[in-house]
Amino acid sequence: MGFKELREFMVNTQLIPRGIKDKRVLNVMKRVPRHLFVDESSQYKAYEDMALPIGEGQTLSQPYMVAIMTELLELNGNERVLEIGTGSGYQAVILAELSREVYTVERIASLAQQAEERFQSLGYANIHVRVSNGTLGWPDESPFDRIIITAGTPKIPDPLIEQISEEGFIIAPVGDRFSQQLLRIKKSGGRLFEEYHTLCVFVPLIGEYGWKE
Ligand code: SAH
């Protein structure tokens, strides 16, 4: 099978049977070349049901986890989205396909730089990358309609809660260092509404409000 067929197979065997329904999410995951976000040596397993190493001890989440988090963001194409944990840039590209503007923050400069190169070579002008401690968000560009944290955290950092727009929401893997649960918090009428979703395992969010190195 070529990469295009592998993507179809991934969607049909990993995403649809586990309940991913949003057609836009399924279509974009059929299109985006996930294998270009990992080293050449891992490309052959880019469409398997697993997380992949991306260097610096970090990982790109398994396809299902990218899909469920994206589905829970309920994007309609007009949003400004903040992602914490750029990593390979794969999740950012999925978001960029489904929203208006993506702001993504990574603490490891070499990963941010590689991701930036991928955004340029694939032609994504609506993704903005910054190297900094994402637990503090991106105050100058806030508020955001959607925020996604792609690293595990003991709690959702307060600065990020503050940077959610009215009627916006945030999704993050919240729990202990080795297992978490997806938490979605909506802001509405100045109040916060929490909802827990699937169990998951992410690399740690490092920094103030996250974990110590
Ligand atoms: N979304 C990524 C996967 C992220 S892995 C992808 O699609 O490939 C989690 C990433 O979060 C790692 O790259 C890690 O360096 C980064 N990270 C951890 N703590 C962070 C922080 N405080 N601010 C920004 N990025 C952080």
Is 10 part of any domain? no
Question: What helix, strand, coil percent values describe the chain, rounded to 5?
Answer: 35, 30, 35
Q: Does residue 122 register a pLDDT over 90?
A: yes
Measured distance CA(205)–CA(52) in Å, rounded: 17
DSSP character for 60?
Answer: E
Ligand 1 centroid – CA 158 distance (Å): 18
Is 85 part of any domain? yes
Give the CATH number, domain containing residue 194. Answer: 3.40.50.150
Domain limits for position 130: 64-200
* pLDDT value for 20: 98
Is 29 part of any domain? no
Residue type, 121: S
* pLDDT value for 67: 98
Cα separations (Å) of 55 from 37, 108, 210? 11, 10, 21
- What is the pTM (predicted TM-score) of this model? 0.98
Is 156 part of any domain? yes
The yes-or-no answer on residue 99 being catalytic is no
Is 36 part of any domain? no
Burial (0-12, 13-18, 19+ Cβ within 10 Å), 71: buried
Q: Does residue 95 register a pLDDT over 90?
A: yes
Residue 88 near ligand 1, beta carbon < 6 Å: yes
Q: Given pLDDT bands bounded at 50, 70 and 90, which one contains residue 116?
A: very high
Mean pLDDT of the chain: 97
Average pLDDT over every residue of 11-16 = 98
Is 154 part of any domain? yes
Given the residues 61, 88, 179, 188, select the one marked as catalytic: 61
Is 206 part of any domain? no
Q: Does residue 213 register a pLDDT over 90?
A: no
Number of domains in the chain: 1
Is 189 part of any domain? yes
Residue type, 133: N
Ligand 1 centroid – CA 39 distance (Å): 17
- Rg (Cα) of the chain, in Å, rounded? 16
Average pLDDT over every residue of 155-178 = 97
Measured distance CA(30)–CA(48) in Å, rounded: 13
Residue 60 near ligand 1, beta carbon < 6 Å: yes
Tokens of 54: 């991306």
Q: DSSP E strands: which ranges in 162-210?
A: 164-175, 180-188, 191-200
For the CA of 134, the nearest atom of ligand 1: 23
Ligand 1 centroid – CA 83 distance (Å): 9
pLDDT digits (tens, 9 = 90+) for 27-71: 999 999 999 999 999 999 999 999 999 999 999 999 999 999 999
Average pLDDT over every residue of 78-89 = 98
For the CA of 88, the nearest atom of ligand 1: 8
Query: Which string of b and e fits 84-108 if b means at least 16 CB within 10 Å?
Result: bbbbbbbbbbbbbbbbebbbbbbbb
